[in-house]
Amino acid sequence: MKNRYILAIDPSGNFIEGKGITGWVLLDTKTDKVIKFGYISASMYPNQFKYWDAHVTLLDSMAGYYPSVVIEEYRLYNNRAEQQINSILETPRLIGVLTYECYKRGYWCTTQSAVSVKTRWSDDLLVRKHYLWEENGNYKIGKTIVSDHVRDALRHAVHFKTFRNRRDDWYEDSRENKFNRFD
């Protein structure tokens, strides 16, 4: 049994450290079409908690779809560790909020590494597979130009749909405390 809807999120918790932008995509695996997408920009909110709450509101808006939620994981890579010295690590905190809120709603939730998704799903491949359209150097979903953040969320949705959306081998009803599987 596969889940029909996948909500993929490319989170940026950077409210204090740089005004982050989170991209998101809702993919219908039956039609293989993106049915909703967007972004949440920290610059639109007066404080970090209102920014985080916008992410919770996004999850609430997905109640009718009961999606699997796929979140880009945060990893502190060795070659970037020095850049993160004294960082308050806002993105992993936001991922924690999202994970907990998925649990409360009974959504199955997992993470995927950015590197595995970005190396597998280039913009050109997404165009060839008809998830994106390229026009005058811009990438679009439908008629709307989409940002890097939305495209990264799309990569996560397509990757999960293609390689990991096989609930029969692991899924139990999340409301019965058999919730998360982080791979």
pLDDT digit string, tens, across residues 110-169: 999 998 899 999 999 999 999 999 999 999 999 999 999 999 999 999 999 999 887 544
Which DSSP string do the residues of 70-103 spell out, in sequence order?
EEEPP---GGGTGGGTT---HHHHHHHHHHHHHH
Residue whose structure tokens are 């308050």:
88
pLDDT at 171 over 50: no
In contact, 68 and 5? CB cutoff 8 Å: yes
- What's the distance, CA 33 to chain centroid? 16
Inside any domain, residue 176: no
Counting the structural domains of the chain, the total is 1
Query: Which 8-state DSSP code applies to residue 31?
Result: T
19 — pLDDT class (breaks 50, 70, 90): confident
Q: Over the chain, what is the mean pLDDT?
A: 87
Lowest mean pLDDT among 37-51, 71-85, 138-152: 71-85
Range(s) of the domain holding residue 131:
5-75+87-171
Inside any domain, residue 138: yes
Residue 91 — φ and ψ, nearest 5°?
A: -65, -45
- Determine the pLDDT at residue 13: 82
- Determine the pLDDT at residue 167: 56
180 — pLDDT class (breaks 50, 70, 90): very low
pLDDT at 94 over 50: yes
Q: 42: domain CATH number?
A: 3.30.420.10
pTM of the model: 0.86
The Cα–Cα gap between 82 and 80 comes to 6
Which of residues 181 and 135 earns the better pLDDT score?
A: 135
| Angle, vertex CA 33, rays to CA 31 and CA 39, nearest 5 | 150
The Cα–Cα gap between 11 and 95 comes to 7
Determine the average pLDDT of the residues in 12-41: 92
Inside any domain, residue 81: no
Inside any domain, residue 12: yes
- Determine the pLDDT at residue 110: 93
Inside any domain, residue 80: no
Query: Token pair of 125, please?
Result: 């491949």
Query: Which 8-state DSSP code applies to residue 41?
Result: E
SS3 112: strand
Determine the average pLDDT of the residues in 65-92: 81
Inside any domain, residue 178: no
- Determine the pLDDT at residue 178: 42
Distances (CA, A) of 12 to 43, 98, 162: 12, 12, 24
| Angle, vertex CA 26, rays to CA 21 and CA 32, nearest 5 | 135
